Amino acid sequence: MRLLTTALGLLMSTSLWAQSPSPDLPGALRVQIGSNYLVDEPSNMGLGLWGSKTFNVHYMYALRLGESRVSFHPGFGISTDKLSFDDEVTLQRAGNTVELVPLEFAEFGEVKKTKLATTYFEVPLEFRFHINKDDFKSSVKIGVGGKVGVLMSSHTKVKYELDGETNIMKLKDNYELNRFRYGAQVNVGVAGISLYYYWGLNKLFKSGKGPEGTNATQNQFGIAFNLF
């Protein structure tokens, strides 16, 4: 519900921006809202798509390549991700590796949510092909590129109910996550709205350090808005 409310709020914001003068900047502030999912993850590390949200904000500079239909868009920004576990488990250190451990009902009562949250600084790079070469802003466009990110922070969060009270346990750690991540991305849209898909090309955890030595990769899909 919170994701839907955020999306509706951004749609309203986009509409307001469209009706007011845009900042005189050679680019756009792009907001992406979507879901994360893992590939090749252990069976007890399944994610709930609805709770595994991603929220990304990037400033994308615009460079037209001559008089062609193609433009190049380098940028920078912040990505915040939630990986919401289906099972009642959480990440825990075991020496220099990380394990998924069950949450004991006697200690935690009724588990409401359990997730891993991360924040990355990112540099996206994208080439866009515009159907209408005379009006890039409102044209149908296809974007192909990728992004590189560096991990800024990460923590686990467990929300549980015990004796009628709601409690939250949050633990900060790098959990042997790869410090850098990179992947490919494609966008298809019109004017300032598009659908996007991101393929993670490197592993979520350092080699041999994640739960059960997992080689899981992180993918995303969702919708993007240009706020100006």
Tokens of 132: 């209408």
How confident is the model at residue 33, as a pLDDT? 97
Closest CA to 58 of 114, 124, 116, 9: 124
Tell me if residue 18 falls in helix, strand or coil: helix
Helical (H) or strand (E) element with 129 = strand 110-130
How confident is the model at residue 3, as a pLDDT? 42
| Amino acid in the structure at residue 156 | T
Distance CA 180, CA 148 (A): 7
- Collect all residues with Cβ–Cβ distance below 8 Å to 11 and sequence separation of at least 6: 225
Distance CA 30, CA 79 (A): 12
Phi and psi at 164, nearest 5°, equal 80, 0
Helical (H) or strand (E) element with 130 = strand 110-130
**Residue tagged 């709930």 (tokens):** 48
How confident is the model at residue 227, as a pLDDT? 87
Alpha carbons within 13 angstroms on the beta-carbon side of residue 141 total: 27
Alpha carbons within 13 angstroms on the beta-carbon side of residue 102 total: 6
Sketch the domain layout of the chain as residue ranges: 2-13+30-226
pLDDT, one tens digit for every residue, the chain (228 residues): 444 444 444 444 444 444 445 556 678 899 999 999 999 999 889 999 889 999 999 999 999 999 899 999 999 999 999 999 999 999 999 989 999 999 976 676 889 999 999 999 999 999 999 988 888 888 899 999 999 999 999 999 999 998 888 999 999 999 999 999 999 999 999 988 999 999 999 999 999 999 999 999 999 999 999 987
Distance CA 175, CA 159 (A): 19
CATH 2.40.160 fits 2-13+30-226, yes or no: yes
